[in-house]
Amino acid sequence: MTERKRRILILSIWEDFWSLGKGSGVPDELHFSRYLTDRGFELHYLIPEPARSTGPTDGARLNFHTYPNIFRSLGRIREPLLRFLRPPAFNRAVLDRLRGLAASLQPDLLLGLSHYSLKPLHIVGSELGLPTAVKLFGVMYLGRFELPRLTYWMRNFDQVRALRHTVDHYIVLNDGTQGKLALTRLGIPPEKISFLQNGMNLAWADTPVDRPLVRSRLGLPREDICVATLARLVKSKRVELFLRVAARLDAEARSRSSFVIGGDGPERDALALEARRLGLDDRVIFTGVIPHDEVVQFLKVCDIFVGTNELTNMSMPPCEAILCGVPVVAFDVSGTAEVVRDGETGLLATDGDIEGLARALGSLIMDEPRRKRLGRQAAEFGRRHFVSWNERIGMELSLIERLIGAGPERS
């Protein structure tokens, strides 16, 4: 008699594996799905209805089901109202669909992506006696307990409410937003939390790049010191502070440098206006979206990476810069200092201290030997401390095997 394949039903809030469009962003779930299907798992994703017909494609072991796309229908509503409206709308859209799929598929595990999935997983897992787990790709402001109480509540209302609905296990990726600390302080038992590093392509540390050719292709000056940032251009990334730091540099440091903004997003036009206001038009370059497989080339032709994110400067772009041998100058916020080690892999300034960040950046622009030394140390740090995608996804597989074997745990 043929043994039934192990089956996982995954509730996702994303239409595709690529978070910023086809080929862009960090393809965590792409690696996850390939790794597990190669090892015989049958994966069923329950995703929002894609806007276009070019969404994920079914395969023999990879299947997609849909629910009404509330994220698109509520897209014009702004924060913080969205934090109140999305969770109930999401629960209405997915609960019956998830319940029906789980009853028919009888999966070995219900896995949710993001805090939105907690209530539906809790309900359906309890009803059908299925083990449940949630995977959090960071926790935004949830670990920022130093915020005033009202500010903390307004920014975290949806996550705090969602965490009242328990699951059997919590997989939290360490993006520098201090997810494990946040969950334990909010009452999740530490033994139910697995805190994992993000996966990295470790070969990037030794990938050769033709700097003149790549700079020419990206429209970057051949001789300037390229000071770069890379992000989705949204308010939380605070890329306007990158421009203000550039404007605070002395004339000689500015004249030696080009300031390169990689990525795209709703703040692009406002950033172009800010660059013009600051008199940096001739020094600022917008590259637009950079496909993820070209990020290594982009980073390796840049000389300094600047992190101004208000949530964390330990996210993927600064870490990838470190792996590529690019020193990082950043605001020291949340877990940033875990990887941006002051004087070793880069330089840190107090969060929000534009003058301090400008001093640190200017010192590296004007000191080539120090800049190159920090770059070499950064790449060596990346080789020693970062983990490969296979290693990271292997950790998740071990957890999944354990959860399937243990069965559901209900409080």
Q: Give the class (CATH, top level) of 202-386.
A: alpha beta
Residue-level pLDDT at 19? 60
Give the residue from 306, 38, 37, 12 showing the smallest Cα distance to 137: 12
Ordered by start, the domain boundaries in the chain are: 7-197, 202-386
Residue-level pLDDT at 3? 61
Local structure of residue 329 (DSSP, 8 states): E
Q: Do domains 7-197 and 202-386 have the same CATH topology?
A: yes
Residue-level pLDDT at 55? 46
Residue-level pLDDT at 369? 98
Residue-level pLDDT at 24? 61
Q: Are 363 and 369 in contact (CB under 8 A)?
A: no
Q: Could you confirm whether domain 7-197 is CATH 3.40.50.2000? A: yes
Q: Between β-strands 328-332 and 304-307, what pairing exists: parallel, antiparallel or unpaired?
A: parallel
**pLDDT tens digits, 182-205:** 999 999 999 999 999 999 999 999
Collect the ranges in the chain with pLDDT lower than 50: 1-2, 54-55, 410-411
DSSP lists the bridge partners of residue 171 as 135, 194
How many Cβ atoms are within 10 Å of 294's Cβ, its own excluded? 17
Give the residue from 134, 174, 202, 170 showing the smallest Cα distance to 391: 202
